[in-house]
Structure 1
Amino acid sequence: MSAARFGPVDFYLLGLPGQTLDPAAFSALTDITDTGLVRLLDLIVISKSDDGELTLVEVEELPNGFEINVEMLGASGLLGHEDITELAEAIPAGASALLVALELVYQRELAARTAESGAVLLGYERIPAPVVNALMDTIIPKLEV
């Protein structure tokens, strides 16, 4: 079996409250990467001023107190200008967001073995967790305790 260097990669744009950076927003990333299920490839903080101007903060520019550093990134620079500009459209004026690229490490072997078999991925769709949970709440009512 050929060794795949990377599994699938997802980009996530996580809205942050206001324009201030809170280290707690980053701790969820460090906690999940510590499990080995995902690998943090790239990260950038995007702030949008009230007039729509973007300010970017790279990992090496984060203030002290954040648990993430550039050595933790598996592919720093993966998030390109086009990705940042396109995804930043969803950030409201006067707000900030964390844009991360996460490798789905747990899918690396599946992707490699699928490709080795000659199969090709014909389609893919992800349903965001809030949508799944809202749907399941309507299908399976919560038990009253």
Structure 2
Amino acid sequence: MTAVTPAPFALGPIELFIVEFDGTEADPSVLAALNSLDAGGQVRLVDLVVVGRLADGGLRVTELTDLAALDARLGASSGLVAEGLIGQDDIEDAAAGLAPGQGVALAALEMRWATALSAALAQAGGRVAHVALIPAPAVNDLVAAALAAAPAGSPAHAPEGADPKERA
């Protein structure tokens, strides 16, 4: 029996971030942060959809390619790798609980740092069974609680003045 060598992956793992906000348009600073990550090679913006609930209850759905004013600010990120990856079902699910005047952004981000790991796992016959994303506020709250409960002088005890919540 001959072992099959998997082809290199064209894309690494993709995480779908759903971010709720007040207003019907995403804050430009959030889009700039996405661009910064993309430019740094850490992640790649694969697809982006911004949804706003209008006063009449309808939805305004805007794809990144429709945001001409943002194209210059996002630079290379506007050349999406998999436009349409975020589907209508994703949009409807994310917008279901929005009140008028609220919005949500759906960002599909490729975790570029994990591409080599994914390929190595596939080559070895392994696979990632589950990934859980723990939001930064929850992680920092848990770390702060653990450090506060650690006995003074223990390796887990926070150094004087350290506040893990400041590292969110």
TM-score above 0.5 = yes
- The match for 2:13 is 8
Does structure 2 conserve the Cα–Cα contact (< 8 Å) formed by 1:59 and 1:68?
A: no
- The match for 1:24 is 29
Of 111, 115, 133 in structure 2, the residue corresponding to residue 108 of structure 1 is 115
Give the residue type in structure 2 aligned to 1:42: D
**Does the C-alpha gap of structure 1 residues 41 and 65 become closer, same or farther in structure 2, counting only changes over 3 Å?**
closer
- The match for 1:126 is 133
Moved more, 129-138 or 89-98: 89-98
Quote the offset at 1:122 in angstroms.
2.7
Does structure 2 conserve the Cα–Cα contact (< 8 Å) formed by 1:7 and 1:108?
A: yes
Give the residue type in structure 2 aligned to 1:68: L
Give the residue type in structure 2 aligned to 1:87: A
Q: Provide the rounded CA distance (Å) in 1 between the counterparts of 2:24 and 2:47.
A: 21
Q: Give the SS at the match of 2:74.
A: coil
Q: Provide the rounded CA distance (Å) in 1 between the counterparts of 2:116 and 2:97.
A: 33
Q: Give the SS at the match of 1:103.
A: strand
Moved more, 96-105 or 16-25: 16-25
Q: Give the SS at the match of 2:8.
A: coil
The number of aligned residues is 145
Which structure is higher in RCO with an 8 Å CA cutoff and minimum separation 6? 1
> Within 5 A, what are the aligned runs for 1:1-145?
2-50=7-55, 52-64=57-69, 67-68=73-74, 71-141=78-148, 143-144=160-161
Give the structure-1-normalised TM-score.
Answer: 0.85
Give the residue type in structure 1 aligned to 2:74: I
Does structure 2 conserve the Cα–Cα contact (< 8 Å) formed by 1:17 and 1:96?
A: yes
Say which structure is richer in helix. 2
Quote the offset at 1:53 in angstroms.
2.4
- The match for 2:155 is none
**Does the C-alpha gap of structure 1 residues 125 and 114 become closer, same or farther in structure 2, counting only changes over 3 Å?**
same
Q: Provide the rounded CA distance (Å) in 1 between the counterparts of 2:99 and 2:12.
A: 31
Quote the offset at 1:135 in angstroms.
0.9
Does structure 2 conserve the Cα–Cα contact (< 8 Å) formed by 1:45 and 1:58?
A: yes
Q: Provide the rounded CA distance (Å) in 1 between the counterparts of 2:70 and 2:93.
A: 29
Could you list the runs of 5+ residues in structure 2 that have no partner in the other structure? 149-157, 163-168
Could you list the runs of 5+ residues in structure 1 that have no partner in the other structure? none
| Deviating 4+ runs (over 3 angstroms) | 90-93, 141-145
Give the residue type in structure 2 aligned to 1:10: E
Does structure 2 conserve the Cα–Cα contact (< 8 Å) formed by 1:46 and 1:56?
A: yes
**Percent identity between the aligned chains?**
30
